[in-house]
Structure 1
């Protein structure tokens, strides 16, 4: 919890999380915006995040229970690369669409059928990009039962992944971050209420 508190404050202070009126890539309106691509520009905080993620995976899943890490470019892949070095685990990644030249593969890296993989992503909203990745992995004969995200936006990803037979774990979610910032008087009650309304929480 101490890490999450420090992380939430850091994200807000560095503009990695902003509150206001935003239009997301999906065209959906949002009362906040998260950009975790800022984090690797701060190596100490980035390393803390990766180490915390590593400890959570060791505790909740166990490094011996999967063969390889997998991610989807680009946000999650940067985190997964750092995690692969820390855990000394192989890394593969899934393209959002197969490249239209060369081998036209959608899964990059070395893998074998029957390998068990753990998916890493930065932010989960509806789970769409992860689900597409999961489908590509399953087509290649890889097994996946868990995924880890840094921040869950609480907009359906958990349920959508459950329908695919995959459990989503998170370091934190937008509601926890917003509550921490509100308790530290960094944001107003109005902002807190807007995020509550968007996530459907009380």
Structure 2
């Protein structure tokens, strides 16, 4: 679990994770905010994160068990692009809504019916954006059974994806991060308690 400790400390020290009062994109209130878009500004940590993600996929799915990586703009796409280069795997992505010009496609990249893909995203909260992407992929006869995220906020995404027959894996979850920071006296008992309560809701 050395990675969890080091990664959590890095996230905290660089302001990738902040504790306080925040409103999420969904309108939901949160006692913390994770902005993984900051991570590529730190190439060594970014590369380490991508390598751990790659190993997670090798251990759980196997690189030879799928045809392509898939992601959703924008947060997940940066991670998936770096991962595609490391694993030498094709990459496709799903727009949140089809573009209203040109080809009007919602799935971008080279696709074939029956191909198997693995979803990559940055942070999983309720799983909403990934659910829409999964539906678009299945409409194009693309097979998806596994999804990988960097941070699981533990607010329903895993269960939502499971209902769709997709297993979600994460590098770290919010409890692991907060506990690692708490053990190092970087966050207070109060913050740890707030995060736990938010998950229980």
Using structure 1 for the length normalisation, give the TM-score. Answer: 0.98
- How far residue 4 of structure 1 moved from its aligned partner, in angstroms, is 1.4
Which residue of structure 2 lines up, in the alignment, with residue 47 of structure 1? 47
- Give the match's secondary structure for 2:148: strand
CA–CA separation in structure 2 for the residues paired with 1:178 and 1:187: 7
Question: What is the 5 A alignment of 1:18-167?
Answer: 18-167=18-167
The RMSD of aligned alpha carbons is: 0.8
CA–CA separation in structure 2 for the residues paired with 1:95 and 1:6: 33
Aligned residues: 201
- Give the match's secondary structure for 2:136: helix
Does residue 180 (structure 1) correspond to residue 188 (structure 2)? The answer is no
CA–CA separation in structure 2 for the residues paired with 1:151 and 1:23: 18
Flag structure 1 segments of 5+ consecutive residues without an equivalent. Answer: none
- How far residue 54 of structure 1 moved from its aligned partner, in angstroms, is 0.4
Runs (4+) off by over 3 Å: none
- How far residue 91 of structure 1 moved from its aligned partner, in angstroms, is 0.2
- Give the match's secondary structure for 1:141: coil
- How far residue 121 of structure 1 moved from its aligned partner, in angstroms, is 0.2
Flag structure 2 segments of 5+ consecutive residues without an equivalent. Answer: none
CA–CA separation in structure 1 for the residues paired with 2:46 and 2:29: 28
Using structure 2 for the length normalisation, give the TM-score. Answer: 0.99
- How far residue 3 of structure 1 moved from its aligned partner, in angstroms, is 1.2
CA–CA separation in structure 1 for the residues paired with 2:146 and 2:4: 21
CA–CA separation in structure 2 for the residues paired with 1:161 and 1:117: 15
- Give the match's secondary structure for 1:69: strand
